[in-house]
Structure 1
Protein backbone atom coordinates (compact mmCIF):
# COMPACT_ATOMS: atom_id res chain seq x y z
CA UNK A 1 0.00 0.00 0.00
CA UNK A 2 1.11 3.53 -0.81
CA UNK A 3 1.45 5.57 2.36
CA UNK A 4 0.68 9.06 1.08
CA UNK A 5 1.33 10.65 4.47
CA UNK A 6 4.80 9.06 4.65
CA UNK A 7 5.60 10.49 1.19
CA UNK A 8 4.41 13.92 2.32
CA UNK A 9 6.34 13.70 5.61
CA UNK A 10 9.51 12.96 3.61
CA UNK A 11 8.85 15.96 1.34
CA UNK A 12 8.18 18.17 4.37
CA UNK A 13 11.47 17.06 5.96
CA UNK A 14 13.75 17.28 2.93
CA UNK A 15 12.25 20.01 0.71
CA UNK A 16 14.97 22.51 1.61
CA UNK A 17 17.96 20.19 1.93
CA UNK A 18 19.42 16.99 0.49
CA UNK A 19 19.23 13.53 2.02
CA UNK A 20 22.85 12.29 2.16
CA UNK A 21 21.65 8.71 1.59
CA UNK A 22 21.05 9.60 -2.09
CA UNK A 23 23.33 10.96 -4.83
CA UNK A 24 23.30 14.74 -5.23
CA UNK A 25 22.31 16.13 -8.65
CA UNK A 26 22.38 19.75 -9.83
CA UNK A 27 18.89 19.30 -11.30
CA UNK A 28 17.38 17.00 -8.72
CA UNK A 29 13.63 17.64 -8.88
CA UNK A 30 12.82 14.14 -10.09
CA UNK A 31 15.26 12.41 -7.76
CA UNK A 32 13.54 14.24 -4.88
CA UNK A 33 10.07 13.16 -6.09
CA UNK A 34 11.32 9.58 -6.46
CA UNK A 35 12.68 9.68 -2.92
CA UNK A 36 9.27 10.87 -1.68
CA UNK A 37 7.50 8.06 -3.56
CA UNK A 38 9.99 5.55 -2.16
CA UNK A 39 9.38 6.86 1.38
CA UNK A 40 5.68 6.22 0.75
CA UNK A 41 6.41 2.58 -0.04
CA UNK A 42 6.44 2.64 -3.84
CA UNK A 43 8.18 -0.55 -5.00
CA UNK A 44 11.24 -0.39 -7.23
CA UNK A 45 11.85 -2.77 -10.13
CA UNK A 46 13.87 -3.04 -13.32
CA UNK A 47 17.47 -2.96 -12.06
CA UNK A 48 20.05 -3.00 -13.51
CA UNK A 49 18.62 -1.83 -16.87
CA UNK A 50 18.61 1.98 -16.68
CA UNK A 51 15.95 2.19 -19.40
CA UNK A 52 13.49 -0.12 -17.63
CA UNK A 53 11.40 0.26 -14.52
CA UNK A 54 11.90 2.74 -11.70
CA UNK A 55 14.76 2.07 -9.28
CA UNK A 56 17.94 3.13 -7.50
CA UNK A 57 20.36 0.37 -6.53
CA UNK A 58 24.05 0.15 -5.58
CA UNK A 59 25.06 3.60 -6.80
CA UNK A 60 23.16 3.59 -10.07
CA UNK A 61 19.55 4.28 -11.05
CA UNK A 62 16.98 4.16 -13.79
CA UNK A 63 16.41 7.20 -15.96
CA UNK A 64 12.85 7.36 -14.59
CA UNK A 65 14.19 7.78 -11.04
CA UNK A 66 16.09 10.98 -11.89
CA UNK A 67 14.90 12.47 -15.21
CA UNK A 68 11.59 14.38 -15.35
CA UNK A 69 10.71 13.34 -18.92
CA UNK A 70 11.47 9.70 -18.14
CA UNK A 71 9.39 9.72 -14.95
CA UNK A 72 6.50 11.24 -16.90
CA UNK A 73 6.57 8.35 -19.39
CA UNK A 74 7.12 5.74 -16.70
CA UNK A 75 4.06 6.88 -14.73
CA UNK A 76 1.96 7.02 -17.91
CA UNK A 77 2.82 3.47 -18.97
CA UNK A 78 3.82 1.38 -15.95
CA UNK A 79 1.71 -1.68 -15.21
CA UNK A 80 4.05 -3.13 -12.56
CA UNK A 81 5.34 -1.78 -9.26
CA UNK A 82 4.82 1.97 -8.98
CA UNK A 83 1.75 2.75 -11.09
CA UNK A 84 -0.44 5.78 -11.62
CA UNK A 85 -3.46 7.02 -13.54
CA UNK A 86 -3.36 10.21 -15.54
CA UNK A 87 -6.27 12.53 -14.68
CA UNK A 88 -7.54 15.66 -16.41
CA UNK A 89 -7.21 18.29 -13.71
CA UNK A 90 -5.12 19.27 -10.72
CA UNK A 91 -8.29 19.33 -8.61
CA UNK A 92 -8.49 15.52 -8.89
CA UNK A 93 -5.17 15.13 -7.07
CA UNK A 94 -4.49 14.72 -3.38
CA UNK A 95 -1.34 14.68 -1.22
CA UNK A 96 1.17 12.11 -2.47
CA UNK A 97 0.24 12.53 -6.15
CA UNK A 98 2.66 13.82 -8.81
CA UNK A 99 2.60 16.57 -11.44
CA UNK A 100 4.88 16.56 -14.49
CA UNK A 101 5.69 19.92 -16.12
CA UNK A 102 6.60 20.92 -19.65
CA UNK A 103 7.29 24.53 -18.71
CA UNK A 104 8.23 25.68 -22.22
CA UNK A 105 5.45 23.77 -23.97
CA UNK A 106 7.96 22.10 -26.31
CA UNK A 107 6.93 18.49 -25.61
CA UNK A 108 9.84 17.77 -23.26
CA UNK A 109 8.80 17.46 -19.63
CA UNK A 110 11.42 19.20 -17.52
CA UNK A 111 10.11 19.36 -13.96
CA UNK A 112 8.37 17.14 -11.39
CA UNK A 113 6.57 17.97 -8.14
CA UNK A 114 4.67 16.12 -5.44
CA UNK A 115 1.40 17.31 -3.93
CA UNK A 116 2.04 17.97 -0.24
CA UNK A 117 -1.03 19.98 0.84
CA UNK A 118 -4.33 21.34 -0.41
CA UNK A 119 -5.71 24.88 -0.54
CA UNK A 120 -9.37 24.04 -0.87
CA UNK A 121 -9.54 21.99 -4.08
CA UNK A 122 -6.18 23.27 -5.35
CA UNK A 123 -3.04 21.23 -4.73
CA UNK A 124 0.06 22.77 -3.25
CA UNK A 125 3.33 21.14 -4.27
CA UNK A 126 6.87 20.70 -3.03
CA UNK A 127 9.95 20.33 -5.22
CA UNK A 128 13.71 20.50 -5.57
CA UNK A 129 16.18 22.04 -8.01
CA UNK A 130 14.72 25.37 -6.93
CA UNK A 131 13.47 24.30 -3.53
CA UNK A 132 9.77 24.90 -2.95
CA UNK A 133 7.37 23.88 -0.20
CA UNK A 134 3.57 24.01 -0.48
CA UNK A 135 3.74 26.22 -3.58
CA UNK A 136 0.80 26.71 -5.95
CA UNK A 137 0.86 23.83 -8.44
CA UNK A 138 0.77 25.85 -11.69
CA UNK A 139 4.14 27.62 -11.18
CA UNK A 140 2.77 30.79 -12.79
CA UNK A 141 4.95 32.82 -10.42
CA UNK A 142 8.14 31.04 -11.58
CA UNK A 143 10.75 32.55 -13.89
CA UNK A 144 10.64 29.20 -15.77
CA UNK A 145 6.91 29.48 -16.53
CA UNK A 146 5.64 30.32 -20.00
CA UNK A 147 2.06 30.65 -21.26
CA UNK A 148 2.76 27.50 -23.32
CA UNK A 149 3.35 25.39 -20.19
CA UNK A 150 1.70 21.96 -20.13
CA UNK A 151 0.99 19.78 -17.13
CA UNK A 152 0.25 16.09 -16.64
CA UNK A 153 -1.48 15.06 -13.44
CA UNK A 154 -0.81 11.60 -12.00
CA UNK A 155 -2.82 9.93 -9.24
CA UNK A 156 -0.46 7.42 -7.66
CA UNK A 157 -2.20 4.08 -7.13
CA UNK A 158 -2.65 3.21 -3.47
CA UNK A 159 -2.25 -0.51 -4.07
CA UNK A 160 0.78 -1.89 -5.92
CA UNK A 161 0.39 -5.23 -7.63
Structure 2
Protein backbone atom coordinates (compact mmCIF):
# COMPACT_ATOMS: atom_id res chain seq x y z
CA UNK A 1 0.00 0.00 0.00
CA UNK A 2 1.36 3.42 -0.93
CA UNK A 3 1.16 6.55 1.18
CA UNK A 4 -1.66 8.68 -0.21
CA UNK A 5 -0.32 12.19 0.22
CA UNK A 6 -3.56 13.68 -1.10
CA UNK A 7 -5.63 11.98 1.60
CA UNK A 8 -3.21 13.12 4.31
CA UNK A 9 -3.39 16.71 3.06
CA UNK A 10 -7.19 16.65 2.71
CA UNK A 11 -7.45 15.40 6.29
CA UNK A 12 -5.17 18.22 7.41
CA UNK A 13 -7.33 20.84 5.69
CA UNK A 14 -10.52 19.36 7.16
CA UNK A 15 -9.26 19.25 10.74
CA UNK A 16 -6.74 22.11 10.95
CA UNK A 17 -9.09 24.36 12.92
CA UNK A 18 -11.20 21.77 14.71
CA UNK A 19 -10.78 18.45 16.48
CA UNK A 20 -11.74 14.92 15.45
CA UNK A 21 -13.79 13.51 18.33
CA UNK A 22 -12.19 10.08 17.85
CA UNK A 23 -8.92 11.42 19.30
CA UNK A 24 -8.16 13.21 22.55
CA UNK A 25 -7.22 16.86 22.16
CA UNK A 26 -3.79 17.21 23.79
CA UNK A 27 -3.75 21.02 23.54
CA UNK A 28 -3.87 21.54 27.29
CA UNK A 29 -1.41 18.79 28.13
CA UNK A 30 1.71 19.42 26.10
CA UNK A 31 0.28 20.32 22.71
CA UNK A 32 -1.73 18.65 19.97
CA UNK A 33 0.58 19.13 16.98
CA UNK A 34 2.09 15.65 16.77
CA UNK A 35 -1.24 13.98 17.54
CA UNK A 36 -2.65 15.91 14.56
CA UNK A 37 0.29 14.93 12.33
CA UNK A 38 -0.15 11.27 13.29
CA UNK A 39 -3.84 11.49 12.40
CA UNK A 40 -2.87 12.90 8.99
CA UNK A 41 -0.39 10.07 8.39
CA UNK A 42 -3.03 7.52 9.39
CA UNK A 43 -5.57 9.17 7.05
CA UNK A 44 -2.95 8.89 4.30
CA UNK A 45 -2.88 5.12 4.65
CA UNK A 46 -0.21 4.46 7.27
CA UNK A 47 -0.97 1.34 9.29
CA UNK A 48 -0.63 1.51 13.03
CA UNK A 49 2.41 -0.27 14.45
CA UNK A 50 1.58 -2.01 17.73
CA UNK A 51 5.17 -2.83 18.67
CA UNK A 52 5.46 -2.43 22.43
CA UNK A 53 7.36 0.64 23.60
CA UNK A 54 8.61 1.70 20.16
CA UNK A 55 5.37 1.48 18.12
CA UNK A 56 3.09 4.10 16.60
CA UNK A 57 -0.60 3.68 17.41
CA UNK A 58 -3.64 5.25 19.07
CA UNK A 59 -6.53 3.34 20.60
CA UNK A 60 -7.49 5.81 23.34
CA UNK A 61 -5.94 8.50 25.49
CA UNK A 62 -4.68 5.78 27.85
CA UNK A 63 -3.68 3.28 25.16
CA UNK A 64 -1.37 4.97 22.68
CA UNK A 65 2.28 4.97 21.73
CA UNK A 66 4.49 7.87 22.75
CA UNK A 67 5.35 8.28 19.06
CA UNK A 68 1.73 9.17 18.28
CA UNK A 69 1.90 12.38 20.32
CA UNK A 70 5.54 13.21 21.07
CA UNK A 71 7.68 15.21 18.65
CA UNK A 72 10.99 13.45 19.30
CA UNK A 73 9.32 10.06 19.74
CA UNK A 74 7.63 10.41 16.34
CA UNK A 75 10.92 11.36 14.72
CA UNK A 76 12.73 8.41 16.30
CA UNK A 77 9.96 6.04 15.22
CA UNK A 78 9.87 7.30 11.64
CA UNK A 79 13.61 7.18 10.99
CA UNK A 80 14.13 3.82 12.72
CA UNK A 81 10.93 1.98 11.78
CA UNK A 82 11.54 -1.18 9.78
CA UNK A 83 8.13 -2.68 10.50
CA UNK A 84 4.59 -1.75 9.51
CA UNK A 85 3.38 1.81 9.47
CA UNK A 86 4.92 5.05 8.30
CA UNK A 87 8.62 5.63 8.01
CA UNK A 88 10.65 8.69 7.18
CA UNK A 89 14.02 9.89 6.11
CA UNK A 90 15.73 13.23 6.59
CA UNK A 91 15.74 15.30 3.42
CA UNK A 92 16.68 18.85 2.46
CA UNK A 93 13.91 21.43 2.33
CA UNK A 94 13.88 21.56 -1.48
CA UNK A 95 12.80 17.88 -1.66
CA UNK A 96 9.64 18.36 0.42
CA UNK A 97 6.31 17.29 -1.04
CA UNK A 98 2.78 17.71 0.28
CA UNK A 99 2.23 15.06 2.96
CA UNK A 100 5.78 15.27 4.29
CA UNK A 101 6.62 16.53 7.78
CA UNK A 102 8.68 19.41 9.10
CA UNK A 103 9.70 19.53 12.76
CA UNK A 104 11.02 22.76 14.22
CA UNK A 105 13.12 23.76 17.19
CA UNK A 106 12.69 26.94 19.21
CA UNK A 107 15.43 25.98 21.70
CA UNK A 108 18.87 24.64 20.90
CA UNK A 109 18.75 20.87 20.50
CA UNK A 110 15.04 20.49 21.32
CA UNK A 111 12.52 19.90 18.56
CA UNK A 112 9.07 20.75 19.89
CA UNK A 113 6.65 21.30 17.01
CA UNK A 114 5.45 19.10 14.12
CA UNK A 115 3.95 20.42 10.89
CA UNK A 116 2.40 18.75 7.84
CA UNK A 117 3.35 20.14 4.44
CA UNK A 118 0.15 20.86 2.49
CA UNK A 119 1.62 22.70 -0.48
CA UNK A 120 4.96 23.60 -2.03
CA UNK A 121 5.75 25.99 -4.81
CA UNK A 122 7.54 25.11 -8.03
CA UNK A 123 10.67 26.38 -6.31
CA UNK A 124 10.59 25.02 -2.76
CA UNK A 125 11.62 27.68 -0.23
CA UNK A 126 10.50 28.50 3.32
CA UNK A 127 8.10 31.04 1.75
CA UNK A 128 6.49 28.49 -0.59
CA UNK A 129 6.26 25.58 1.85
CA UNK A 130 2.77 25.86 3.34
CA UNK A 131 1.86 23.86 6.40
CA UNK A 132 -1.07 22.75 8.55
CA UNK A 133 -0.81 22.01 12.26
CA UNK A 134 -2.48 22.15 15.66
CA UNK A 135 -1.25 24.04 18.73
CA UNK A 136 -1.55 27.47 17.19
CA UNK A 137 -3.90 25.96 14.64
CA UNK A 138 -2.84 26.77 11.10
CA UNK A 139 -3.54 25.84 7.50
CA UNK A 140 -1.71 27.14 4.43
CA UNK A 141 0.75 28.90 6.78
CA UNK A 142 4.15 29.66 5.22
CA UNK A 143 6.99 27.89 6.98
CA UNK A 144 8.92 31.17 6.84
CA UNK A 145 6.54 32.73 9.39
CA UNK A 146 7.94 30.61 12.23
CA UNK A 147 10.70 32.11 14.38
CA UNK A 148 12.68 28.91 14.75
CA UNK A 149 16.26 28.06 15.50
CA UNK A 150 16.33 25.10 13.16
CA UNK A 151 14.16 22.62 11.28
CA UNK A 152 14.31 19.07 10.02
CA UNK A 153 12.38 17.78 7.05
CA UNK A 154 11.10 14.22 6.75
CA UNK A 155 10.06 12.43 3.58
CA UNK A 156 7.18 10.12 4.50
CA UNK A 157 6.29 6.74 3.04
CA UNK A 158 4.60 3.55 4.29
CA UNK A 159 5.33 -0.16 4.15
Q: Normalising TM by the smaller chain, what interval? A: 0.7 to 0.9
Gaps of at least 5 residues in structure 1 are none
Gaps of at least 5 residues in structure 2 are none
Q: Are the equivalent residues in 1 in contact too, given 2:116–2:131 (CA < 8 A)?
A: yes
1:21-75 Cα deviation digits (max 9, x unpaired): 111111100000000000001111125x3x3111112442111100111112112
Say what the alpha-carbon RMSD is for the aligned residues.
1.5
For 2:156, the equivalent position in structure 1 comes to 156
For 2:101, the equivalent position in structure 1 comes to 98
Q: Are the equivalent residues in 2 in contact too, given 1:29–1:113 (CA < 8 A)?
A: yes
TM-score w.r.t. structure 2 length?
Answer: 0.87
| Larger strand share, 1 or 2 | 2
Report the count of equivalent residues: 149
Match of 1:116 among 115, 118, 127: 118
Counterpart Cα distance in 1 of 2:33 and 2:60: 21
For 2:20, the equivalent position in structure 1 comes to 19
Q: Secondary structure at the match of 1:6?
A: helix
Counterpart Cα distance in 1 of 2:106 and 2:116: 16
1:3-37 Cα deviation digits (max 9, x unpaired): 11000000010001111111111110000000000
Q: Are the equivalent residues in 1 in contact too, given 2:24–2:60 (CA < 8 A)?
A: no
Q: Are the equivalent residues in 2 in contact too, given 1:7–1:40 (CA < 8 A)?
A: yes
TM-score w.r.t. structure 1 length?
Answer: 0.86
For 1:68, the equivalent position in structure 2 comes to 71
For 2:43, the equivalent position in structure 1 comes to 39
